[in-house]
Amino acid sequence: MGVRRRTGVFYLRVNPILCDGFGHCHELAPELVTMDEWGYPIIKREPTPLSDLAALESARYAVRGCPRQALRIERVSEN
Ligand code: SF4
């Protein structure tokens, strides 16, 4: 068995139709999500390396904690 390297990047994505704007995602992943003046999330647009395990864990917390299931993690592999 070899060591599996985490290459590539991820994005946190929000479905604006499902989002109700209560902002739990900002509390759970403040490094990835800020809020607009109405309380809706503004997701970091830049890719985050999958090797950033703290950010990836925050993204997972936000996905699990979203009451509307409006968030998902999009992984992009490096080729
Ligand atoms: S936790 Fe979900 S529903 Fe709430 S603001 Fe974030 S994306 Fe929207």
Q: Does residue 4 belong to any structural domain of this protein? A: no
Ligand 1 pocket, 60 CB below 6 A? Answer: no
Identify the pLDDT of residue 63: 98
Give the Å distance between the CA of 62 and the centre of ligand 1: 8
pLDDT tens for residues 33-73?
Answer: 999 999 899 999 999 999 999 999 999 999 999 999 999 99
Structural domain harbouring 49: 9-76
Give the Å distance between the CA of 24 and the centre of ligand 1: 6
What value does the CA radius of gyration of the chain take, rounded to a whole number of Å? 13
pLDDT confidence tier of residue 3, bands split at 50, 70 and 90: low
Ligand 1 pocket, 63 CB below 6 A? Answer: no
Identify the pLDDT of residue 78: 76
Indicate whether 22 pLDDT > 90: no
Ligand 1 pocket, 50 CB below 6 A? Answer: no
Identify the pLDDT of residue 79: 67
Q: Does residue 3 belong to any structural domain of this protein? A: no
Q: How far is CA 50 from CA 13, 20, 24, 68, in A?
A: 15, 28, 22, 25
CATH code (residue 47):
3.30.70.20
Domain count, the chain: 1
